[in-house]
Structure 1
Amino acid sequence: MADRDAPDRGFDPEKPLADRESRDLRRVLEPAEGVTARTRFAPDPKGDEPAFADEERLVFAANNYLGLADDPRVERAAADAASDIGTGAGASRLVTGDTALHRALERDLAETKDAERALVFSSGYAANVGTVGALDPDVIFSDELNHASIVDGCRLSGAKTVVYDHCDADALADRMAERAESDPAADERWLVVTDSVFSMDGTVAPLEAICDAAERHGAWVMVDEAHATGLHENGGGIVQREGLSDRVDIQMGTLSKALASQGGYVAGDEPLVELLVNEARSFVYSTGLAPPAVGAAREALRIASEGDVRDGFWANVEYLRDGLASLGFEILGDSHILPVLVGDRSDALALADRLRDSDVVAPAIRPPTVPDGTSRIRVAPMATHTEADIDACLDAFEREATQLDIV
Structure 2
Amino acid sequence: MPDERTERRRGFDLAARLQTRERRGLRRDLRPVESVEPRTRAAPDPGGGVPAFDAEGSDELRVFAANDYLGLAGDDRLADAAADAATDVGVGAGASRLVSGDTVAHRRLERALADAKGAERALAFSSGYAANVGTIAALDPDVVFSDELNHASIVDGCRLSDADVEIYDHCDGDALRAAMARRAHDSATDESWLVVTDSVFSMDGDVAPLDDVCAAAERHGAWVMVDEAHATGVYPGGVVGERGLEDRVQVQLGTLSKALGAQGGFVAGSETLVEHLVNAARSFVFSTGLAPPAAAAAREGLRIARETDRRDRLHRNAASLRDGLTERGFEVLGETHVLPVLVGDRADAVALADALRSRDVLAPAIRPPTVPADACRIRVAPTATHDEAALDACLDAFESAGREVGLP
Q: Tell me, yes or no, whether TM beats 0.5.
A: yes
Q: Residue type of the partner of 2:306?
A: S
Deviations, residues 233-268 of structure 1 (Å, cap 9, x unaligned):
2xx211011111111000000000001111000000
SS of the residue 1:378 aligns to: strand
Kindly state the Cα deviation for residue 372 of structure 1 after the two structures are TM-superposed.
Answer: 3.1
Inter-partner Cα distance in structure 2 for 1:309 and 1:56:
25
Aligned to 2:146: 142
Alignment of 1:99-110 (within 5 A): 99-110=103-114
| 1:217 pairs with 2:220 | yes
Kindly state the Cα deviation for residue 374 of structure 1 after the two structures are TM-superposed.
Answer: 1.5
Aligned to 2:82: 78
SS of the residue 2:246 aligns to: coil
Aligned to 1:347: 348
SS of the residue 2:122 aligns to: strand
2:102 and 2:289 in contact (8 A); partners too: yes
Kindly state the Cα deviation for residue 140 of structure 1 after the two structures are TM-superposed.
Answer: 0.2
Inter-partner Cα distance in structure 2 for 1:6 and 1:61:
46
| 1:203 pairs with 2:213 | no
Aligned to 1:249: 250
Aligned to 2:160: 156
Aligned to 2:402: 401
Aligned to 2:178: 174
| Number of residue pairs aligned between Structure 1 and Structure 2 | 403
SS of the residue 1:58 aligns to: strand
Aligned to 2:338: 337
Q: Residue type of the partner of 1:96?
A: S
Kindly state the Cα deviation for residue 351 of structure 1 after the two structures are TM-superposed.
Answer: 0.3
Aligned to 1:126: 130
Please, what is the CA RMSD of the aligned residues? 1.1
The two structures have a TM-score, normalised by structure 1, of 0.97
Inter-partner Cα distance in structure 2 for 1:7 and 1:268:
50
Aligned to 2:264: 263
Aligned to 1:321: 322
Q: Residue type of the partner of 1:112?
A: A
Q: Residue type of the partner of 2:267?
A: V
SS of the residue 2:310 aligns to: helix
Deviations, residues 338-366 of structure 1 (Å, cap 9, x unaligned):
00011111111100000001000001112
Comparing 86-95 with 51-60, which one deviates more in the overlay? 51-60
Alignment of 1:227-306 (within 5 A): 227-233=230-236, 236-306=237-307
SS of the residue 1:377 aligns to: strand
Kindly state the Cα deviation for residue 367 of structure 1 after the two structures are TM-superposed.
Answer: 2.8
Specify every segment of 5 or more residues in structure 2 that has no aligned partner in the other structure, as ranges.
none
Q: Residue type of the partner of 1:406?
A: L
Kindly state the Cα deviation for residue 209 of structure 1 after the two structures are TM-superposed.
Answer: 0.6
Aligned sequence identity (%): 67
2:32 and 2:44 in contact (8 A); partners too: yes
2:85 and 2:293 in contact (8 A); partners too: yes
Kindly state the Cα deviation for residue 165 of structure 1 after the two structures are TM-superposed.
Answer: 0.2
Aligned to 1:90: 94
Comparing 46-55 with 128-137, which one deviates more in the overlay? 46-55
| 1:66 pairs with 2:79 | no
Comparing 338-347 with 368-377, which one deviates more in the overlay? 368-377
The two structures have a TM-score, normalised by structure 2, of 0.97
Structure 2 CA distance for partners of 1:178 and 1:395, relative to 1, 3 Å: same
Inter-partner Cα distance in structure 2 for 1:373 and 1:47:
34
